[in-house]
Each structure stands twice: as structure tokens, then as C-alpha cells.
């Protein structure tokens, strides 16, 4: 039985979908003004894993992940570049999709863009004004009146007096309260024409928070199962989503006991670099596309999922090297077994039970991957039909995490090595041919030297019956 850690209750809860057999999930996506970094990769990979497991266990999943394509940072970048907003955002949407494809991620069922839902946002803002939960300030902005929503703060676990405005909530003298957040931003004279829309409150654009509320409610309904995102979104973004969504739908006196906007809130942990949170402001972030020039995409996925999704993880080349070594060990177990592509798993197998129990325990991929390593050990010990059966089980279980689905030799000979030796596959094959010629000429010192040199450069040779030499990168 699946249990999910619910940020709202600060506890693990048995997962009970609103509609039996079906799951609706919304994940906060990217703000598209730059290339995606590995913090974005963690969000995409974690919820890709969640959706895959839900589907593997029989749920019909509707997966929505939005794109923020209007935002202060987007406007600033477009002005700096001297290009239209749509051109800027489309370029980085295309880049995001390229990164997603490289990482082998499934696409969301819906990928709404904020600019396509302006009418829905305005409708929600209008309801908040009608229910006296929002007001238009002297500067033309429409703000949400936080203190008029008594349950504000329940996601972050703090009272209103304990909370501060948060880094993305601008505080101005025209607000009634510093915690009030903007729903509709009045257009500024210097802003381009493609950054403003007509509204009952004058020309302007939506605030960041209202975008996700409008898109999720429109596509999934006013009550859905799971809302996900990075831990940094818990406050203020997700806190504000709850307030404005429940406020618009039900009014000031609504409580979670009546009907929550979302049943389960999931947040993945931060990626840290040298024990500091990775951020653009600190300049310690790494683009996905840059990392993938040095490491295989499956290695990056394995690095992220070998830790529990809620825990912080520290990024370094050493950590990625360790992840690659782990994948090499698993693929090596498959190399000689010729496993079937898909098999019917034995539900009584102890390791199958252990893997499933781990995944059903709040998607504990760390423990699930530990079970895969133990299964690989059994594959290495077994012989004949048992070896093939165990290897097939390993491959089938790993498929739910999107690992170990490539030809083992292809992975182990990957042309994206973890080192900078410059050895291409062609050069390695040439060295193997030279070693074979040396052996045939009984120049064993030369053949041994070639083996030793290749090993020092991260290439392992394995001589097989019939004079065949196989190789892999270590």
C-alpha cells in the first residue's frame, strides 16, 4: 500500500486517490528564460519517477507540469536581448525539451503555458475580489489580502505573524499588509506591449502565484490528488496557491476540513554544491547540457534517484563518478546473462517484495536501488536458466525507474566517459587489434603493456573463448 509524505500534514499518509484507480498530479515547472540546471533536472526526474511508479502499480495518471512564460525575469531578459517575449521563451522551451529527451523523461500529459490561461487567471482574481479577499491598490496592482484568509500558513506550519514576505513577494507601501501578494501587476510605461493584457483592473499581467492556481484548477479540477515541486516552492508559492485557490472557490471561512485544494503536497529536496544550496545568485549552478557533455544521461538520473527524493544531495564530479561506477556494476551483471526484455515478476520473490515495499514507502528509491544491487549480486552468483531469470527480474524492476534498459555493451562502451582520456571507441578497438597482433607474434610483453595502458586510461579488457576480447569503460 503506497504511503506518501504529505508536507501539509508533515507525516506519511496512506495514499487514497479521490477517484479509485486514477491519480491527478500537478507539478510546478520551469520559468523559461535560461537553460535548465541540475536543480531543474531533479524536479523533472523525481516526478518522472513518481508518475512511472504510479502507472507501474496500475493507476491511470493525468500528469500536468506547467511552463511559466511570463515573469519579471523573462521580461528583463527579453529587454536585455532586444527580442520578443515569445521568441525568448520558445527558444528555452525547446532547450528544456531537448534536455528532457536526453534524460529519457516521459512528457506530461498536459504542459500548459501561463500565457494561454490569462482569462482563467482573471476569472479567479475576479472571484477573490467578489469574496473580499483581494483589493486593488493605489498603484493599480491587485493584491491578495492574506490576513483575511484565516488558514494562511498551514502548509509552512507557521502563523501569519511568524511569516515574512519571501524573496519573490515584493513589499511596497501601497499594500495593506507586507504579506499581501500580487495577483495582477499593473503595466509599467517602460514595459513592452507583449508583456500586458487588458483586464477589468487595467492593462497588466498576472502574478506568478495565480498562474499555477488557474492552470491546475482548469486542467485537473478544483480538488485533485497530488501537487509537487521543489522544497523552495513550499513558501511562499504553494502557500499562496492554497490561499488563492481555496479562497476563490469557497471564500474566507473555508477550512481544510471542508475540502482541501490538494490532498497531498510533495516537495523534493535541494541540490547543494560544497554544502551550499545551489543557486544562480551564488553562481554555483550547473546546466544539464554541460553536465551531459561529461557524463551519460543515465548516470545523472542514477545520481539523483539513488538518494531519497526529500533529502538534500551534494553535487560534485566525485558523486557522479560514484553513480557511474554503480551503474557499471549493474550493467556488468546483465552483460553475460542475456535477460529477457520484459517478464512477469514473481510476487513471492524476497527482493521483488523488498523493491516494491521501498517504492511504496514514500518512493524510497535509495532502498529500492539497494535491492537492485543485491539482486545483481545474485545474478553474478547464479548459472544457466536461474541467471537469466534473475537478470530479467533485475531489468524489469529497474525499468520502473528507467534504468538498465540499454544494451549492456553499449552502456559499458559509452562514448561519454567519466574521464578526459580522449580515447574514442575506434581508438580502443585499434589498440585491441594491436594487442591481438602482438599476441599472435608471441610478443607478450607488448600485449601486456597495451592491456596495462588501456586499464590506466579506464578501459577494462576481458578475453573470452575463441580469441574474442570484450571491453568496457571502468
45 close to 304: Cβ distance less than 8 angstroms = yes
Strands 224-230 and 271-273, sheet pairing = unpaired
Integer angstrom CA distances of residue 12 from 1, 91, 304, 447: 12, 40, 22, 59
Integer angstrom CA distances of residue 161 from 48, 174, 178, 220, 252: 37, 19, 11, 33, 18
Annotated binding-site residue? 241: yes
Residue 310's closest CA among 362, 264, 370, 239?
362
Annotated binding-site residue? 36: no
- Specify burial of residue 233 (Cβ count, 10 A radius: 0-12, 13-18, 19+): buried
Chain centroid to CA 447: how far? 47
Annotated binding-site residue? 138: no
What number of other Cβ atoms are within 10 A of residue 161's Cβ? 8
d(CA 302, CA 322): 10
Annotated binding-site residue? 28: yes
C-alpha cell recorded at residue 131? 469574496
Annotated binding-site residue? 167: no
Residues with Cβ within 8 Å of 400's Cβ and at least 6 positions away in sequence, in order, are 52, 53, 56, 359
Residue 431's closest CA among 448, 412, 414?
448
List, as residue ranges, the binding site for Zn(2+): 28, 212, 237, 241
- Residues annotated in the binding site for ATP, as ranges? 280
Binding-site annotation: residue ranges: 28, 212, 237, 241, 280
Amino acid at each position: 500500500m503506497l504511503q506518501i509524505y504529505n508536507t501539509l500534514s508533515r507525516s506519511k499518509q496512506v495514499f487514497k486517490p479521490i477517484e479509485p484507480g486514477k491519480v491527478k498530479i500537478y507539478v510546478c515547472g520551469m520559468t523559461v528564460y535560461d537553460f535548465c540546471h541540475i536543480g531543474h533536472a531533479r524536479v523533472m526526474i523525481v516526478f518522472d519517477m513518481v508518475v512511472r511508479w504510479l502507472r507501474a502499480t496500475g493507476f491511470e495518471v493525468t500528469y500536468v507540469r506547467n511552463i511559466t512564460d511570463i515573469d519579471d525575469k523573462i521580461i528583463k531578459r527579453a529587454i536585455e536581448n532586444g527580442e520578443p517575449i515569445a521568441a525568448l521563451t520558445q527558444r528555452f522551451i525547446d532547450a528544456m525539451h531537448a534536455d528532457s529527451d536526453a534524460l529519457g523523461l516521459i512528457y506530461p500529459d498536459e504542459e500548459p503555458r501561463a500565457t494561454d490561461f490569462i482569462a482563467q487567471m482573471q476569472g479567479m482574481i475576479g472571484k477573490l475580489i467578489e469574496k473580499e479577499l483581494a483589493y486593488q491598490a493605489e498603484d493599480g496592482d491587485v493584491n491578495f489580502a492574506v490576513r483575511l484568509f484565516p488558514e494562511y500558513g498551514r502548509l509552512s506550519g507557521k502563523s501569519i505573524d511568524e511569516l515574512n514576505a519571501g524573496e519573490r513577494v515584493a513589499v511596497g507601501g501601497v499594500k495593506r499588509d507586507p504579506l499581501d501578494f500580487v495577483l495582477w501587476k499593473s503595466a509599467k510605461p517602460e514595459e513592452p506591449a507583449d508583456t500586458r493584457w487588458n483586464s477589468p483592473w487595467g492593462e497588466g499581467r498576472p502574478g506568478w502565484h495565480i498562474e499555477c492556481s488557474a492552470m491546475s484548477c482548469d486542467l485537473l479540477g478544483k480538488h485533485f490528488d497530488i501537487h509537487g515541486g521543489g522544497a523552495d516552492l513550499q513558501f511562499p508559492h504553494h502557500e499562496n496557491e492554497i490561499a488563492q485557490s481555496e479562497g476563490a472557490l469557497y471564500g474566507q471561512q473555508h477550512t481544510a476540513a471542508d475540502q482541501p485544494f490538494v490532498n497531498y503536497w510533495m516537495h523534493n529536496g535541494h541540490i547543494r554544491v560544497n554544502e551550499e544550496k545551489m543557486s544562480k545568485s551564488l553562481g554555483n549552478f550547473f546546466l544539464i547540457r554541460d553536465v551531459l557533455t561529461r557524463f551519460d544521461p543515465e548516470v545523472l538520473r542514477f545520481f539523483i534517484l539513488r538518494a531519497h527524493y526529500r533529502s538534500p544531495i551534494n553535487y560534485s564530479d566525485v558523486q557522479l563518478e560514484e553513480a557511474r561506477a554503480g551503474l557499471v556494476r549493474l550493467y556488468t551483471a546483465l552483460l553475460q546473462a542475456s535477460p529477457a526484455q520484459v517478464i512477469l515478476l514473481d510476487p513471492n520473490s524476497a527482493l521483488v517484495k523488498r523493491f516494491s515495499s521501498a517504492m511504496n514507502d514514500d518512493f524510497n528509491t535509495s532502498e529500492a536501488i539497494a535491492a537492485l544491487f543485491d539482486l545483481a549480486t545474485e545474478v553474478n552468483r547464479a548459472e544457466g536458466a536461474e541467471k537469466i531469470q534473475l537478470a530479467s527480474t533485475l531489468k524489469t524492476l529497474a525499468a520502473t525507474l528507467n534504468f538498465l534498459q540499454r544494451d549492456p555493451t553499449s552502456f559499458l562502451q559509452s562514448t561519454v566517459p567519466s574521464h578526459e582520456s580522449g580515447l574514442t571507441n575506434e581508438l580502443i578497438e585499434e589498440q585491441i587489434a594491436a594487442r591481438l597482433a602482438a599476441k599472435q607474434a608471441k610478443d607478450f610483453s607488448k600485449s601486456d603493456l597495451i592491456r596495462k595502458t588501456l586499464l590506466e586510461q579506464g578501459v577494462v579488457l576481458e578475453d573470452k573463448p575463441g580469441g574474442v576480447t570484450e571491453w568496457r569503460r571502468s
